[in-house]
Chains A and B, each alone.
Chain A
Amino acid sequence: MSFQILLNVIIALLWMFFQNAWNGLAFSKGYLVGIIILFCLRRFFPTRFYIQKLVAIVYLLLLFLVELLKANYSVLKEVIRPTLKIQPGIFALPLEVEKDWEIMLLANMITLTPGTLVVDISDDNSVLYIHAMHIDDVHEAIDDIKNSFEKAIMEVSR
């Protein structure tokens, strides 16, 4: 990905040389031209076209913010409920992602999502131990995490 960005910047600089115009506008135009050129040549790169990856990152960020709002709503509901009606517990979540930074991102996102909090990780990085507010819908929570976050993170790292 970084190689493609570097290439795009170099194309933009070349564009500035061709135009003999040295300002931000010329650079932006050159960058757009570079994106088009790289899109046409995308099958010569070993990795994906980098704009796709950028879109995946933005999607992950938006998902994260939406989940943060939902999490706050669910916690507040518990706080202002007159009688305490929680059923906490710790459950294990088998991981599919492998790289360290992916696990770090997943753990952070789980901590900031409704009703879950990461407590520990197993020594071989294969199981995440999560403290949940309502343990009765654990399987639902596992499915949720698997389908939304893990998929989105894998989409970025693919």
Chain B
Amino acid sequence: MIEIGKFIVGVLIVLGSLLSILTTVGMLRFPDTYTRGHAASKSATLGIMLILIGTALYFWITEGYISGKVILGIVFILMTTPVASHLITRASYNNGVALWKGSVRDDLEKKYKQQKKQ
């Protein structure tokens, strides 16, 4: 029973680490701030969540200790990461960071033009 549990924990932690690595690759490959935000906000959240779930499971299986702090950590990561990425992209749009040249559509432009006129 414990061996199966350890196997599951291993799979979770390896998956989480892989996701984190691929997030980093995405950060390097994507062309502009906004597309990088996609990679950072999604894959990083799930990667860290998987690693933390693996940690909590490991201590539960091997030592019978349920760590409340790790579970709280998972919840907080899930709540705060999207807000942080939203704020970063919003701040960069406010400061006039241009979209990638391949971008095809920009509905937000009108709003800021109107604000400038007023």
A-B CB pair tally, cutoff 8 Å:
109
> Which residues does chain A contribute within 8 Å of B26, judged by CB atoms?
75, 78-79
> Which residues does chain A contribute within 8 Å of B39, judged by CB atoms?
75, 79
B residues near A (Cβ < 8 Å) are: 19, 22-23, 25-26, 29-32, 34-35, 37-39, 41-43, 45-46, 79, 82-83, 85-86, 89-90, 93, 99-100, 102-108, 111
Q: For chain A, what secondary structure do more than half of its interface residues adopt (helix, strand, loop), or is it mixed?
A: mixed
Q: Does A84 contact B (CB under 8 A)?
A: yes
Contact of B82 among A76, A111, A115, A119 (CB under 8 A): A111
Q: Does A86 contact B (CB under 8 A)?
A: yes
Chain A: interface size category:
20 to 34
Contact of A71 among B42, B79, B102 (CB under 8 A): B42
7 other A-B residue contacts (CB within 8 Å) besides A72-B42, A72-B46, A135-B103: A68-B42, A80-B22, A88-B34, A107-B86, A108-B82, A120-B111, A129-B111
